[in-house]
Structure 1
């Protein structure tokens, strides 16, 4: 009878030790599991982010160009070309070029590289009207010159600074999804590019 009590006491002691051992091990590994979980959540969100941020503006305008023909110092004919110009202006950021490091130990999100803005302005010119005369025919060269000037005028009419500012806002909206998540996980955000200082991060 005494032997049974000894065996039961011994088994109970081993059981208590096992419970304490695995409980302590679980507590010690809890931080590591949390770090891995946070790291996975952040890196997964970064990979899901849109890889190309694009903001577009579409502008249209009409322009009338007059071409006079003079004889003996007097204008004897007056030709004109009316052009219709559609301009697509866009600013884009290729986020494949962005580099973000996730430090799960120090709980830091470090932005090491951000892409520069790529601005593209594409004008398309259509001839709406040709008004020429017998004495002063409009040549193909005239049409090319008018078309080229219309394109140059369209490009100059685009406010590239404003376009870049609006594109930057769109970029920040995309990045903000990551920043909000990082802050919710108690991560600090460090910007090594110097481009995000205006956000007060």
Structure 2
């Protein structure tokens, strides 16, 4: 009789423990699902164009000479060109690739899209001088436009536009770091654990 009672009590204890374990497991899975959804929502919120804008101006003198009769006769054309340009440097974070490892509570940023540089130019011609034997043509405008954009590209590289855009990118990505730290998750970028905003800055500027 005592033996049956002990077996019965043992079964009751086992059932209670199994129930408690299943309840704990359910709560733990719910927490992971909640954290995962929260991280995904943060990625959606950050997944926008991070843009830095700049304005450049320059004055260019364009000259061209058409020679005839082995250079004895020539006809010049020239123009004063005023260039105004708006430049944007952007990161489309919708193109960012990432992986969420729920089991190990890790989010890995696999790749960040390269910056997109867009140049919008407004070119005005002044003091245009030309002749019927050497008029301005489409080729001239194409050469001028190509030269203007090449000069602007050099100016952009020497300016702080790209650096400012990188700083804004780091600021946006650091939101992931704050969130993952608060949830007890680990954040990685290209396989390296990110512990602070400086780590992001060093990786992005490599």
TM-score by length of 1: 0.67
Structure 1 residue 187: deviation in Å?
1.0
Distance verdict in 2 for CA 1:193–1:31, change over 3 Å:
closer
Residues 47 and 92 of structure 2 are in contact (CA less than 8 Å); yes or no, is this contact kept in structure 1?
Answer: no
Unaligned runs of 5+ in 1: 1-16
| Counterpart Cα distance in 2 of 1:69 and 1:140 | 11
| Counterpart Cα distance in 2 of 1:151 and 1:43 | 39
The match for 1:6 is none
Residues 66 and 134 of structure 2 are in contact (CA less than 8 Å); yes or no, is this contact kept in structure 1?
Answer: no
Aligned pair count reads 180
TM-score by length of 2: 0.66
Q: Which whole-Å deviations, capped at 9, do the CAs of 1:65-84 have from their partners, x for residues lacking one?
A: 467899xx9xxx99752211
The match for 2:10 is none
Give the one of 35, 41, 46 matched to 1:44. Answer: 41
Residues 61 and 79 of structure 2 are in contact (CA less than 8 Å); yes or no, is this contact kept in structure 1?
Answer: yes
Structure 1 residues 150-165: aligned runs within 5 Å? 150-159=148-157, 162-165=160-163
The match for 2:198 is 199
The match for 1:12 is none
| Counterpart Cα distance in 2 of 1:107 and 1:161 | 40
Segment drifting more, 106-115 vs 46-55? 46-55
Structure possessing the higher radius of gyration over alpha carbons: 1
Structure 1 residues 106-185: aligned runs within 5 Å? 106-130=104-128, 132=129, 139-141=135-137, 144=141, 146=144, 148-159=146-157, 162-185=160-183
Give the one of 94, 102, 105 matched to 2:103. Answer: 105
User: Is the partner of 2:187 in helix, strand or coil?
Assistant: strand
The match for 2:204 is none
Residues 85 and 154 of structure 1 are in contact (CA less than 8 Å); yes or no, is this contact kept in structure 2?
Answer: no
Distance verdict in 2 for CA 1:56–1:138, change over 3 Å:
farther
Structure 1 residue 39: deviation in Å?
1.0
Residues 60 and 85 of structure 1 are in contact (CA less than 8 Å); yes or no, is this contact kept in structure 2?
Answer: yes
Structure 1 residue 51: deviation in Å?
3.0
Residues 156 and 162 of structure 2 are in contact (CA less than 8 Å); yes or no, is this contact kept in structure 1?
Answer: no
Structure 1 residue 85: deviation in Å?
0.4
Residues 65 and 81 of structure 1 are in contact (CA less than 8 Å); yes or no, is this contact kept in structure 2?
Answer: yes
Unaligned runs of 5+ in 2: 1-13, 201-206
User: Is the partner of 2:109 in helix, strand or coil?
Assistant: strand
